[in-house]
Amino acid sequence: MRRKGNCTVSTQHALLVIWGEYAQRIGLTEALGQVPLAQKKRTHTPQSKVIELLVATLAGLAYLEDISRSAHPLDQDGAVAQAWGQAQWADYSGVSRALRNLTFNDVERFVKALGQISQKFLDEEIELTLRQERRLIYDGDLTGLSVSKSSQTYPNVSFGHMDDEIRLGYQAAVVSMHSPTYGRLWLSVAHRAGNTVSATQAGAMIQAAEAQTGRRPLRRTELLAQRLQQMEQEGQRMGQRVKDHQDQLGQSRLKQADIQATLLSLQNQIKAGEQAYAARQKTERPNSQLARVRKRLAVFQHRDQRQAQTIAKAEKLLAWSQGLFLEHQRGYVHLQERLVLFQQENRENPTPIQAVFRLDAGFGTWENVALLIEMGYELYTKAYNPQTIQPLLPQLPDPAPWVRVGQGAEMITWPAQTLKQFCYPLDFGLERFTDDKRAKFSTLIHFGTDPIASQPQCWFSTYNHRQIIEAGIKESKQVFQLHHLKVRSEPAIALQENFVIFAANFIRWANSWLMTLSTGSAKSDLNLSRLGCKYLVQVAAHTSADVIWNSLGCLLTFSDLSLLAGKELLLPPRPKLPKTAPKFPSFFHGFQRFRLWLHKT
């Protein structure tokens, strides 16, 4: 909604007014407002309360009650409400109730609406990135959202690794994309249980990134077909091993049967001898025939015990080999299905791209490494097991050829090495970090066309550029307060996670728009590239100004108590949306026609 005339409205959240104007121009408020919710409306719609959560996220409010109980309550700022297309804001308690009643289906619909708004910007940036850099670069990570260890009110929390400690809480799987314009754009976030480990999330993160960008590389089906051929040969060897173990078990059981038959015969002989001795009232002597049969019985009883142990070992060995063979067969079937899927995806992908995925050591299991290779990605990661590099160490000359790649950091590289436990050749790099106390080591893994094995400094720099996602996680927690869970409903927590990553993208898009379209003396002071997101959220979004809406647009005059005192910023009028004819005539329109008919009658 928009005020007519030159009525001046004061605000304590100047930048939130600007962002609200931008949100209406790109259709954000309309998209969120049209999400269907099965909640009652009283003074405020449940959709407006969800929009209020997004605005509170953009304002960097740590707790939900800060909406109503901060120094300058957001719900009392009519200018911000007007800029975001709302009559007024609800009290934080009403927002809390609305969020508590959300379901995961509701959250999915809101996330879909955010995705529709984001898609245009992502498509433009993807095209620019592909033109300039010829490929997309993704970064993925898993970050913990901890709560108090004594808390009993958060649903489905569990203990897991968070910030190098065991803590109670949730996990969020996030994926970002390198952007030449904005530096970093978030692609997806997925709400996970607190005990989730990184190794289980790689495939889902890749699929989420591809779903958001709508682009994927050409699958390496030829490598996968070779892997299946090798697995088939290995399966034949494992099947033969199972057969050999079955034969061994069968032979052991036949031998046991012979032993037990001999035991039964000896027992019968002893029984008959005892009866004969008793009938003749004869005493059994140590070297008598009956005594010799007893000694022979003891020998075969001992043989029977040893053979039972042999059979138990053979059964255990057979169960082990059968288990490996069944697991191998399940893996073989799974890879066959993957090959069929990848072949279909290649047929449906007329314009494949080149893409890089960078992950930390928690994702670097052999299965994840093979998956990313087969999906067509250039892979940069660290080994899940630090001992992976051990078979390559004997190849090093003495002294080892360490190459300095950074302050206190050195590397040794091995190009295109095939390890016994992995199916594809990989580039390996051993990092050594030295300080005053002791040296620390880690193993880098690479697969792709980049010749980084011969350029250790480039390898070190390329992989460590994934710190951009770590900076983004830090921003989400310190600027947008993601580590302060504003509600105690799991669907609402998932919505908060999605609002945080959208807010980080939205501010960058809004700042680019602001620098392009706005005029006034305050324009140069609101430059994200110079000030940074943290400054805009924590300072500029909480500064005071007077706001005027008129035919010329939206004019902000910053107050004398503002950091931009005396400066002005003019936003052009919003473009008018095309009016569409209503599907059904309104009541008053129908009533007017009824009056005309009645008059003629």
> Which of 165-174, 416-425, 432-441 shows the lowest per-residue confidence on average (mean pLDDT)?
432-441
For range 475-502, the mean pLDDT: 94
High-pLDDT (> 90) share of the chain, %: 76
What confidence score (pLDDT) does residue 590 get? 42
Same domain, 343 and 227: yes
Reported for 352-355, long-range contacts at CB under 8 A and 24+ positions apart, including other chains, are: 352/216, 352/217, 352/218, 352/376, 353/130, 353/135, 353/136, 353/215, 353/216, 353/217, 354/134, 354/135, 354/136, 354/217, 354/378, 355/135, 355/136, 355/137, 355/138, 355/215, 355/216, 355/217
The answer to whether residue 22 is domain-embedded is: yes
Strand partners, 432: 410, 441
> Which of 57-61, 272-276, 322-326 shows the lowest per-residue confidence on average (mean pLDDT)?
272-276
What confidence score (pLDDT) does residue 574 get? 84
**Position 600 pLDDT exceeds 80:** no
What confidence score (pLDDT) does residue 6 get? 65
The answer to whether residue 366 is domain-embedded is: yes
Q: For 217-250, how does the pLDDT look when each residue is reduced to its tens digit (9 = 90+)?
A: 999 999 999 999 999 999 999 999 999 999 999 9
What confidence score (pLDDT) does residue 232 get? 94
Number of H helices, E strands in the chain: 17, 14
Q: Who contacts 558 (Cβ-Cβ below 8 Å, separation ≥6)?
A: 14, 522, 543, 544, 545, 564, 565, 566, 567, 568, 569
Same domain, 368 and 422: yes
What confidence score (pLDDT) does residue 580 get? 39
Same domain, 249 and 329: yes
The answer to whether residue 469 is domain-embedded is: no
What confidence score (pLDDT) does residue 191 get? 95
> Which of 74-83, 314-323, 563-572, 588-597 shows the lowest per-residue confidence on average (mean pLDDT)?
588-597
- Please give the C-alpha separations between residue 48 and each of 30, 282, 301, 354, in angstroms, as whole numbers: 10, 108, 85, 41
What confidence score (pLDDT) does residue 275 get? 87
What confidence score (pLDDT) does residue 2 get? 40
Q: For 338-370, how does the pLDDT look when each residue is reduced to its tens digit (9 = 90+)?
A: 999 999 999 999 999 999 999 999 999 999 999
Q: What is the pTM of this model?
A: 0.86
Same domain, 321 and 373: no
Give the chain's mean pLDDT.
90
**Position 558 pLDDT exceeds 50:** yes
What confidence score (pLDDT) does residue 388 get? 87
For range 541-562, the mean pLDDT: 92
The domain that holds 290 is classified in CATH as 1.10.287
Task: Please answer whether residues 540 and 507 qualify as being in contact, where contact means their C-beta atoms are separated by less than 8 angstroms.
Answer: no
What confidence score (pLDDT) does residue 436 get? 65
Same domain, 366 and 339: no
Distance from C-alpha of 508 to C-alpha of 520, rounded to nearest angstrom: 20
The answer to whether residue 203 is domain-embedded is: no
**Position 3 pLDDT exceeds 60:** no
The answer to whether residue 35 is domain-embedded is: yes
Give the H or E element holding residue 130: helix 104-133
What confidence score (pLDDT) does residue 387 get? 84
What confidence score (pLDDT) does residue 389 get? 84
Same domain, 327 and 433: no
What confidence score (pLDDT) does residue 589 get? 39
Predicted confidence band of residue 147 (pLDDT cuts 50, 70, 90): very high
Predicted confidence band of residue 586 (pLDDT cuts 50, 70, 90): very low
**Position 30 pLDDT exceeds 90:** yes
Instruction: Quote the domain boundaries for residue 315.
Output: 222-347
The answer to whether residue 475 is domain-embedded is: no
Instruction: Give φ, ψ of 219 to 5 degrees.
Output: -70, 145
Task: With CA atoms as reference, report the closest residue to 121 among 9, 251, 243, 22.
Answer: 22
What confidence score (pLDDT) does residue 90 get? 94
Question: Which of 321, 347, 373 is the last residue in one of the domains?
Answer: 347
The answer to whether residue 135 is domain-embedded is: no
For range 161-169, the mean pLDDT: 90
The answer to whether residue 176 is domain-embedded is: no
Distance from C-alpha of 256 to C-alpha of 301, rounded to nearest angstrom: 11
Say how many domains are in the chain: 3
Same domain, 336 and 445: no
What confidence score (pLDDT) does residue 587 get? 37
Question: Which of 281, 314, 347 is the last residue in one of the domains?
Answer: 347
Same domain, 410 and 515: no
Predicted confidence band of residue 282 (pLDDT cuts 50, 70, 90): confident
What confidence score (pLDDT) does residue 246 get? 95
Same domain, 229 and 253: yes
SS3 (DSSP) at 538: helix
Q: For 194-212, how does the pLDDT look when each residue is reduced to its tens digit (9 = 90+)?
A: 999 999 999 999 999 999 9
Identity of the amino acid at 34: Q
